[in-house]
Chain A
Amino acid sequence: MSSFNIFDIAGSGMSAQSVRLNTTASNLANADSVGGDPARVYKAKHPLFEAIRSGLGSNAASTGVAVRGIVESQAAPAARYEPGNPLADADGYVYAPAVNTVEEMVDMISASRSYQNNVEVMNTAKDMMLATLRLGQ
């Protein structure tokens, strides 16, 4: 029965969202990882989602999600004048990664809601299949 595809689809959604949660956690954890070299300071990471079709043509059987890769933000780190900081460069500046914590929090909530959606889909599909197995009893 093709309903087994639902587990693959919802599972791929859950794994993609958990990658997104991971990158968000990493961005938030490193929001204050300052450094003296702007080129080597932490860069915010974001996953690239892509729909994967299995099957042929426009009537493809199922469409899961794949994480095509994780891109690093190209935004320039913010320079702070902190001459007392042991990490400061010769001019007294430290560089903080360009992580927007508000944006990351929103991303986190969105990812967790999407994850919950996929879990619900999986639970419902499981109940439906179990009910189908009981058919005729």
Chain B
Amino acid sequence: MTSPWSEGQVASVAPDAGSLAAAAKLSGAWSQTGGNGDALWGLCQGSGKSPYRSVVDLTGPAYHCSCPSRKFPCKHALGLLLIWSQGRVPEQSEPPEFANDWLSRRAGRATAVRTPTAPVTTASGAKSAERRAERVAAGLDELDLWLTDQIRGGLGAADISASAFDAIAARMVDAQAPGIASTLRRLPIVVATRADWPDRLLREYARLHLLVVAHRRLSELPEPLQASVRSHVGYPVATDSVRGEPGVRDRWMVLGMQTTEEKRLFTRKVWLLGRDHGRRAILLDFAHGSAHFSTVIPPLGSLVDATLHFYPGAAPLRAQFGDTHETPEPFTTVAPSDMDTALDDFAAAVGADPWIRSWPALLTGVTPAYDDGSWFVADGQGRALPLSGEDPVLWRLLGMSGGSPVTVFGEWTSDSLVPVSVFDRGDVYPLVSGTPSTAGSRR
């Protein structure tokens, strides 16, 4: 049988701390528990007559339970994992009937998925790409007309209702420019929440107009910038083609990690910094329905010797893992990095790709502070940059430092630093979820 997870590993799949606590309380309610190879099962007595049937497929991991909970995994599946981690699930050769059904159905589905699909022929591929480019071009012309109309009539008099932005965004979805559609969909929030919304709106309109102009003259642009324009518009990039890009090998440090959810779409963002060559990278993963991502990434605070393949672009940042050469191990130091480096990096990135909104920034030996209603980080010389982000994140950062210098990692967004994680005495702590990294503190 797969060797039991640690309690920390079980905690890492829990949807929230409450579920985990509820799961621990079930400890005495189990019967007919068993495990076999990569699966666990058991009956859990709840308040009703018949017990809940809970099954876990550890390879996914995937969970199945007869309870009506909408949490995923539910407290029963978590409870099963917990007693397993305590060595209280006996090994059995055959799963009982209540588990077998689901497990065999899963096995069947997995085989089906692995069946290779016929590759798209190059000729029809090229043809559809051409058709897409035409649709996008037509859509962007329409967008530009809309943008210039807004400016001609004046932002003060324009329709800035959510439905107005929604209509033009929907048109961009039809025109197969999803990157632009999502930019437009964010605008009503800007209008509703920011006092300086006219300034913000003008910025966004200018950015979109520049994108339209660049798209019109796509063929005149250098290759990397063409790729940037395509990705901001929202052309898809085939994963396989990224793997074809030349690899960049380094000892990559995992500096930050964040999972966000929007309409059941979970996005995991992982920030990396090459220890030897100083290059920055972002790994993006998506999952529907629950935060279970198909790719496995090393934990926060660890370092992995690996080859990365970058998505093409004028300021390449997004990447995919290629070959991993060593098993990950924790790192406890980072090279000093100051405000000038962060600002210069951003300037260089914006110079190469003017549509970039943010760039990873590492600041060593800075002190976060809240003074007179504003947040900032200052270095030993009193030079300061503004901080922004959600309140709990900023208070966590302040509590971490207690007014003494720490190392902050975050995203510089042209006017403020949005903190993501903080380093102190060799450990890395995420600021977005509040749970400490296990990589550094396990030793």
Genuine A/B complex: no
Chain A residues within CB distance 8 Å of chain B: none
